[in-house]
């Protein structure tokens, strides 16, 4: 029986992780849950899965929950409550499903506490990849990727030697605007961005998918997860979202992992590894799939992707700065303060305004994130 804590239990990955738990009651037990402010959904999760402890980072939401709930689960609040979930002594595995930079500190705390990590929060590695991977090695814990693309790469690398790796082919659906020109994207709305053609995801990730910023973040994540130089990580557009990524070897062999567009499959594998549990979800029917197509991304239109790769190659604090600027840009777009094309423009301005320094400590990362957000907010204010 694997005992898990979930950071971000009310989000898209968190709720699907609980679907995986419900499908594997003899293998998985939830001992701790953390969320931001959705106290209604967290209460339902508590009553169904009976964790020892649950936390809401929003103090008011936690207060509301305490007023309604009088069961045995301990209800905590604030950043300290989230950290308590991340380091829960009864958990052996922590699922990092929080959205954005907020997932970094609790993930590092979980690693320091000796927990294995099933990581869906790509921003953790983008902002502080060196620190996180060094901590993983130092503590001797296991890190398994949850992102469908990184799970596919992880699976396609098994049984082969790292020295034989030629390229990682990182697939992207292309989002809802594949094939559009910059002129056609000048007046894109939030609602249009949120209509993803193949995946059902949270708001932030869906917006990132529409700009291809998400793929840029995933390139940086792949660099750290698989110890691969950026020159060997190649994003490609695959609209059907059936081939989740591929690995090409020095002899020309290409190994791919295929599956339906369902995050429960990579979530389950991240929790079952190195075992494979009998399938409990939708299965792929290749005959029904039809043609599978692949294209090069249009980096002139979707500029967030090359900006992310540029930041990744530069290293230091710039990947953290890219992430911070993107988070502010997406929030501003959702609030109507920034246009769709303005997201990449803002990221570029913040990167150009930031002197690069080595990302050699947690404090350096925290300061880089804070300063980048301030710069981004200032640029948004100037644009209005």
- The HSE-up count of residue 239 (CA atoms within 13 Å, CB side) is 10
Q: Is the dihedral of CA 322, 324, 325, 326 positive or negative?
A: positive
The pLDDT of residue 378: 97
Quote the pLDDT of residue 64: 97
Contact indicator for 146, 266 with CB cutoff of 8 Å: yes
- pLDDT reported for residue 13: 95
What pLDDT, on a 0 to 100 scale, did the predictor assign at position 80? 97
**Is 273 in contact with 144 (CB distance < 8 Å)?**
yes
Q: What is the rounded (10 degree) CA torsion for 94, 95, 99, 103?
A: 20
Tokens of 54: 């649950």
- Distance between CA atoms of residues 375 and 318, nearest Å: 13
What strand order describes the sheet that includes 243-249?
A: 233-237, 165-172, 243-249, 254-258
Per-residue pLDDT of the chain (384 residues; tens, 9 = 90+): 999 999 999 999 999 999 999 999 999 999 999 999 999 999 999 999 999 999 999 999 999 999 999 999 999 999 999 999 999 999 999 999 998 889 999 999 999 999 999 999 999 999 999 999 999 999 999 999 999 999 999 999 999 999 999 999 999 999 899 999 999 999 999 999 988 777 777 899 899 999 999 999 999 999 999 999 999 999 999 999 999 999 999 999 999 999 999 999 999 999 999 999 997 788 899 999 999 999 999 999 999 999 999 999 999 999 999 999 999 999 999 999 999 999 999 999 999 999 999 999 999 999 999 999 999 999 998 876
Contact 212, 305 (CB under 8 A): yes
A 10 A CB-CB count for 55 gives 31
Helix (H) or strand (E) segment spanning residue 380:
helix 362-383
Residue 164, CB-side half-sphere exposure with 13 Å CA sphere: 14
Scan for tokens 């009553």, then name that residue: 47
């Amino acid at each position: 029986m694997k005992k898990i804590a979930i950071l971000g239990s009310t989000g898209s990955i968190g709720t699907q992780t609980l679907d995986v738990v419900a499908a594997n009651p003899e293998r998985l037990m939830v001992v701790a849950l953390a969320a931001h402010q959705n106290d209604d959904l967290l209460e339902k999760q508590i009553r169904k899965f009976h964790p020892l402890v649950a936390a809401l980072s929003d103090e008011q939401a936690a207060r509301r929950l305490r007023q309604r709930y009088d069961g045995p689960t301990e209800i905590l609040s604030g950043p300290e409550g989230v950290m308590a979930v991340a380091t829960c002594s009864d958990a052996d595995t922590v699922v990092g499903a929080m959205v954005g930079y907020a997932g970094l500190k609790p993930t590092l705390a979980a690693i320091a506490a000796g927990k294995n990590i099933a990581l869906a929060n790509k921003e953790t590695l983008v902002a502080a990849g060196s620190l996180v991977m060094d901590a993983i090695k130092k503590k001797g814990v296991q890190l398994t990727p949850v992102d469908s693309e990184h799970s596919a790469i992880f699976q396609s690398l098994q049984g082969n030697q790292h020295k034989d790796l030629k390229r990682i082919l990182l697939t992207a659906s292309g989002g809802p605007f594949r094939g559009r020109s910059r002129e056609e994207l000048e007046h894109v709305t939030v609602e249009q961005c949120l209509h993803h053609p193949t995946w059902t995801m949270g708001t932030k990730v869906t917006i990132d998918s529409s700009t291809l910023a998400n793929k840029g973040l995933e390139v940086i994540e792949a660099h750290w997860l698989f110890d691969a130089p950026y020159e060997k990580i190649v994003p490609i557009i695959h609209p059907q979202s059936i081939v989740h990524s591929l690995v090409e070897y020095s002899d020309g062999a290409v190994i791919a992992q295929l599956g339906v567009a369902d995050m429960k499959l990579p979530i389950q594998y991240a929790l079952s590894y190195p075992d494979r549990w009998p399938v409990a979800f939708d299965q792929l029917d290749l005959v029904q799939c039809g043609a599978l197509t692949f294209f090069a991304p249009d980096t002139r239109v979707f500029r967030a992707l090359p900006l992310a790769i540029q930041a990744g190659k530069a290293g230091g604090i710039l990947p953290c700065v890219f992430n911070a600027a993107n988070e502010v840009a997406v929030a501003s777009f959702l609030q109507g303060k920034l246009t769709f094309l303005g997201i990449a423009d803002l990221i570029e301005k913040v990167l150009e305004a930031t002197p690069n320094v080595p990302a050699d400590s947690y404090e350096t990362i925290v300061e880089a994130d804070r300063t980048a957000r301030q710069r981004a907010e200032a640029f948004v204010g100037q644009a209005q």
